[in-house]
Chains A and B, each alone.
Chain A
Amino acid sequence: MEMMNELLEKYFRGETTLQDEKELKQYFSTGNVSSEHEIYRALFDVFRQELSETNVRPVSVALPDQKRIKRTWIQTFAFTGIAATLILLLWIQLPQYSDNYAVIGGTRINNAEYVQRYTEKKLTRVNHMLARSMKPMQSFSKVRKNMQPLQNLSDVRTKMDEIQNKLQFK
């Protein structure tokens, strides 16, 4: 009791150590408090009560970590690149189910082999027709070839004129 009185006096003078104050807190937290000290029990209860008070609003940092931003951007770029590559590969690899057809004589033909044979046949005919049309042209070239000596005649004539001119002067 006497010791507790001294300790309390020291406490109110601000001379107690943390260990002394711990003892006082323990003393007042038990049900074994002397009646003359009962008056201070509420004071130590308040200290204990206040220590249990917490910040109910969660504290958060609104600003994102710079490193995390960089990582996110790198990841975003990587994922975008991978996704684009995959789409491209799929587009190349997948069979093309396109609606390719030809219209022959007003009829829609989906059989590619038939269309190919039909086209070849028609092209052969066009080739024959062209060859026949070009025949007169071949004759023209023959005529031009045969006319070649006639062109030399004009050269001979020019030379004869020159010689004649020379002879007249003399």
Chain B
Amino acid sequence: MESTQFNTQILNHSDKLFRLAKSILRNADTAQDAVQELIMKLWEKRKQLDVVENMQAFMMRSMRNLCLDTIRQQHDEDELPVEFEYVEPNPYQQTEQKDLALRIHMMIDNLPELQRTVIRMRDVEGMELSEIAYITSLTENAVSVNLSRARQKIRDQIINEQKKVEETVWK
């Protein structure tokens, strides 16, 4: 693959790669580093890229694997839990997080990695289930299950928050 071809086919996807990396790593700086690292790795193996049929899916899959490796490394070094469940904000936090959009953003961020990756690839990037299945190394059925679980969790949390807001108003 020539440098111009590399630029058009790979560097143009950097925003999409960044969003995926940020979703998995939950940190913009680390996500930017991960994107740069992936681009460098792909550049080194650019001769092998000519045989790749779906470049976007291949890159997203590589990005996810690299991010998961980064999380594993951090986990080994820091001995911190990789995933943490969504904890409802206390009243003080609720007043601070007035913006519902921000709270939903946090709800998605606090989903297990697979669920948040799947929901973002589908609802933000608008990707086909088959592509998501390839990226996550799952079956399409497993992707559907994870997607519905993720959406259902978010829905439940939104409804719960709405109820609390209504209760506060009525009091």
Q: List residues of chain A with CB under 8 Å of any chain B CB.
A: 11-15, 18, 21-22, 39-40, 42-43, 45-47, 49-51, 53-57, 59-63, 65, 67-68
Q: Are A49 and B14 in contact (CB under 8 A)?
A: no
User: What CA separation (Å) do A61 and B35 show in the bound complex?
Assistant: 11
Q: Are A46 and B35 in contact (CB under 8 A)?
A: no
Closest to B28 in A: A56
Interface stretch (choices B50-58, B77-85, B87-95, B142-150): B142-150
User: What CA separation (Å) do A17 and B170 show in the bound complex?
Assistant: 39
Q: A119 → chain B, closest Cβ, in Å?
A: 70
Known contacts A14-B148, A46-B108, A47-B123; A55/B128 CB under 8 A: no
21 residue pairs of the A-B complex, CB under 8 angstroms, read: A14-B145, A15-B144, A18-B128, A21-B122, A21-B126, A39-B159, A39-B162, A45-B101, A50-B105, A50-B124, A51-B19, A51-B124, A51-B125, A55-B18, A55-B35, A57-B32, A59-B14, A60-B36, A61-B6, A61-B39, A65-B2
Q: Are A59 and B35 in contact (CB under 8 A)?
A: yes
Q: Does B138 reach chain A (CB closer than 8 Å)?
A: no
Question: Interface readout for B1-29 with A: 1 if CB under 8 Å, 0 if not?
Answer: 01100100001001101110010000000
Q: A57 → chain B, closest Cβ, in Å?
A: 4
Q: Does B134 reach chain A (CB closer than 8 Å)?
A: no
User: What CA separation (Å) do A12 and B145 show in the bound complex?
Assistant: 11
Report B-chain residues with C-beta under 8 Å of the C-beta of A39: 158-159, 162
Which residues of B (131-171) have their CB < 8 Å from a CB of A?
A: 144-145, 147-149, 151-152, 154-155, 158-159, 162
